[in-house]
């Protein structure tokens, strides 16, 4: 890491020597040019190009997952961002494009597998993957899709900097090394706050997603989908394909609709339930979606995740906050206040719900408490073993169901006077753990009219649908 380099010094300091290039050419890395990462506070990191040539701007964030880099790369929720992977080596098992997470059906302008992220930062990029499913390396994929990437960066130092100072806008380039020009380009780039990125990743028209759309290449690990018995309309705010697959495997036939589809059109489809997907950016900027959600709540069962959780919260009149550096990764601990179990969850968001903004506490349902904690840390409810309830002006009683154990922020709510619930994290393993799979089951139970639809043995449900679980059960019975 370096600071305050002069215009020409950066290029002269980092340009690889002829000897260095000859040495690299003899390795699996091959020849590669210089690359630079410049943050809005003047912090500079130098490295080597490991993706497409060019320049990209975006919010620099970090993901703490140990695997699943391809699913991260193709998650539409990363629109507008430059993603730092904290795991030191990326690309060692290559890419199978059937694992792509973009659910966009694709067209002549935008391929179905096109990543939404702006750039990528890694410590070490593997150019020679080894895995029986791999069809292409990460650098080849990045170059094919025009994504600028940098390796050789001290990602530990970068992540510490972001944790200490908060998320930063950044610019990554293989062609510009003049610090003043980088700063000028970055200053002119749009920020995430106030920008509607959802409209850039949502599908352009309604389309079906059913059991026949499940990838056959996953049959070695996953069981066949449950028989379809629920008709669900899914708002595509940048939905991950793995989420749609999870709903289908739980027994849902899906009609996926654009982010701004009017509530009246959705209700005319006579669905058993409505699903609100994950998506990128600032939830306050997605006005067209949460205004529709406000008209749907109470008329049809509703389930939201990630941005969908924020859409439900905004429909209830809540306030959002921009988190210091967000939650991104497959190892985020969350306390389920209903089951009293800790879930290890997959998350990807930079904004969160301010739970007190939903309403005043109902003392008789909140352990006698009448005031929210002054510091806003919701872990007080974890320690007390209480799922508090507030009285909302629009939709009545709302219960806090999930709390992040790292920072005490809200991770889930349940409307007690309307069939509606939501979580801030992702309930599928693409990538990530399976602890939250029960949420798909809970949604089907809600559509079935079960009153205690969240009362589920989460430890047992987490194995549902996996071949290895069925094999293990058979072997146990035989022994």
- Ordered by start, the domain boundaries in the chain are 2-188, 198-468
Q: What percent of the chain has pLDDT over 70?
A: 92
pLDDT at 15: 61
307 is in an annotated binding site: yes
Res. 7 pLDDT band, cuts 50 70 90: very low
152 is in an annotated binding site: no
Is residue 266 a contact partner of residue 233, using CB atoms and an 8 Å limit?
yes
The 3-state DSSP class for residue 262 equals coil
Is residue 454 a contact partner of residue 414, using CB atoms and an 8 Å limit?
yes
Res. 28 pLDDT band, cuts 50 70 90: confident
The 3-state DSSP class for residue 25 equals helix
310 is in an annotated binding site: yes
Fold adopted by 2-188: Glucose Oxidase; domain 1 (3.50.30)
pLDDT (mean) for 180-205: 94
pLDDT at 221: 78
d(CA 240, CA 100): 9
pLDDT at 14: 59
pLDDT (mean) for 279-285: 96
Q: Which CATH class is domain 198-468?
A: alpha beta
pLDDT (mean) for 357-362: 98
d(CA 239, CA 243): 7
Is residue 178 a contact partner of residue 225, using CB atoms and an 8 Å limit?
no
Res 478 pLDDT > 60? no
443 is in an annotated binding site: no
184 noted as active-site residue: no
pLDDT at 1: 44
32 noted as active-site residue: no
Quick: pLDDT tens for 222-256: 778 888 999 999 999 999 999 999 999 999 999 99
CA-based max dimension of the chain: 74
CA angle 326/68/109 to nearest 5° reads 85
d(CA 15, CA 426): 42
Question: In the block, which residue shows the tokens 């749907």?
Answer: 296
d(CA 286, CA 1): 37
Res 465 pLDDT > 90? no
Res 473 pLDDT > 60? no
Give residues with Cβ within 8 angstroms of 216, minimum separation 6: none
The CA-atom distances, in angstroms, between 8 and each of 14, 60, 425 are: 10, 25, 45
Res 90 pLDDT > 60? yes
**Taking the alpha carbons of 397, 401, 405, 406 in that order, is the dihedral positive or negative?**
negative
41 Rama sector, left if φ>0, alpha if ψ -120 to 50, beta otherwise: alpha
Beta strands in 280-408 (DSSP E): 302-305, 319-336, 341-354, 360-361, 389-392, 396-404
Res 9 pLDDT > 60? no
Res 10 pLDDT > 50? no
50 noted as active-site residue: no
**Tokens representing 215?**
């990838």
Res. 30 pLDDT band, cuts 50 70 90: confident
pLDDT at 31: 75
What is the β-pairing status of strands 148-151 and 168-173?
unpaired
pLDDT at 110: 61
d(CA 151, CA 142): 13
HSE-up (13 A, CA, CB side) for residue 46: 18
Beta strands in 210-267 (DSSP E): 230-236, 252-258
339 is in an annotated binding site: no
Is residue 320 a contact partner of residue 285, using CB atoms and an 8 Å limit?
no
Quick: pLDDT tens for 368-421: 999 999 999 999 999 999 999 999 999 999 999 999 999 999 999 999 999 999
Quick: pLDDT tens for 96-108: 988 999 876 665 5
454 is in an annotated binding site: no
Give the chain's mean pLDDT: 91
Q: 223: which DSSP letter?
A: P
d(CA 37, CA 252): 44
Res. 479 pLDDT band, cuts 50 70 90: low
Quick: pLDDT tens for 129-154: 999 999 999 999 999 999 999 999 99
Res. 468 pLDDT band, cuts 50 70 90: low
Give residues with Cβ within 8 angstroms of 69, minimum separation 6: 85, 87, 90, 91, 138
Of 32, 203, 237, 306, the active-site residue reads 306
CA angle 298/299/304 to nearest 5° reads 65
């Amino acid at each position: 890491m370096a600071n305050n380099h002069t215009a020409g010094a950066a290029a002269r300091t980092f340009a690889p020597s002829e000897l260095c290039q000859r040495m690299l050419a003899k390795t699996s890395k091959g020849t590669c040019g210089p690359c630079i990462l410049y943050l809005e506070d003047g912090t500079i990191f130098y490295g080597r190009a490991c993706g497409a040539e060019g320049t990209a701007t975006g919010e620099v964030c970090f993901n703490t997952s140990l695997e699943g880099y391809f699913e991260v790369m193709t998650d539409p929720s990363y629109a507008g961002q430059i993603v730092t992977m904290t795991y030191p080596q990326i690309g060692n098992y290559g890419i199978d494009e059937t694992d792509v997470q973009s659910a966009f059906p694709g067209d002549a302008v935008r391929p179905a597998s096109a990543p939404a992220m702006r750039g990528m930062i890694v410590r070490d990029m593997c150019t020679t993957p080894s895995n029986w499913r791999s069809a292409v390396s990460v650098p080849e994929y990045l170059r094919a899709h025009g994504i600028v990437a940098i390796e050789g960066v001290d990602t530990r130092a970068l992540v510490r900097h972001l944790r200490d100072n908060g998320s930063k806008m950044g610019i990554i380039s293989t062609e510009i090394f003049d610090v003043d020009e980088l700063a000028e380009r970055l200053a002119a780039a749009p920020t995430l706050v106030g920008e509607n990125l959802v409209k850039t990743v949502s599908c352009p028209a309604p389309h079906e997603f059913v059991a026949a759309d499940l990838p056959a290449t996953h049959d070695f690990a996953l069981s066949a989908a449950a028989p379809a018995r629920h008709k669900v309309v899914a708002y595509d705010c940048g939905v991950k394909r793995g989420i749609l697959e999870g709903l289908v495997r739980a027994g849902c036939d899906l009609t996926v609709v654009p982010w701004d589809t009017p509530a009246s059109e959705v209700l005319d489809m006579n669905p058993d339930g409505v699903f609100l997907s994950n998506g990128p950016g600032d939830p306050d900027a997605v006005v067209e979606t949460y205004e529709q959600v406000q008209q749907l709540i109470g008329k049809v069962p509703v389930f939201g995740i990630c941005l969908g959780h924020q859409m439900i919260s905004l429909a209830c009149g809540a306030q959002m906050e921009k988190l210091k550096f967000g939650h991104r990764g497959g190892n985020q601990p969350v306390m389920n206040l209903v089951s009293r179990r800790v879930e290890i969850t997959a998350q990807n968001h930079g904004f969160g719900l301010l739970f007190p903004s939903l309403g005043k506490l109902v003392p008789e349902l909140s352990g006698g408490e009448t005031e929210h904690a002054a510091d806003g840390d919701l872990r007080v409810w974890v320690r007390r073993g209480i799922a508090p309830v507030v009285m909302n002006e629009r939709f009545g009683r709302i219960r806090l169901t999930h709390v992040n154990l790292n920072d005490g922020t809200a991770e889930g709510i349940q409307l007690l006077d309307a069939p509606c619930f939501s979580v801030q994290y992702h309930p599928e393993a693409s990538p990530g753990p399976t602890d939250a799979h029960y949420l798909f089951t809970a949604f089907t139970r809600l559509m079935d009219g079960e009153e205690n639809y969240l009362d589920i043995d989460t430890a047992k449900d987490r194995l549902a649908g996996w071949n290895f679980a069925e094999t293990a059960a058979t072997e146990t019975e035989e022994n």
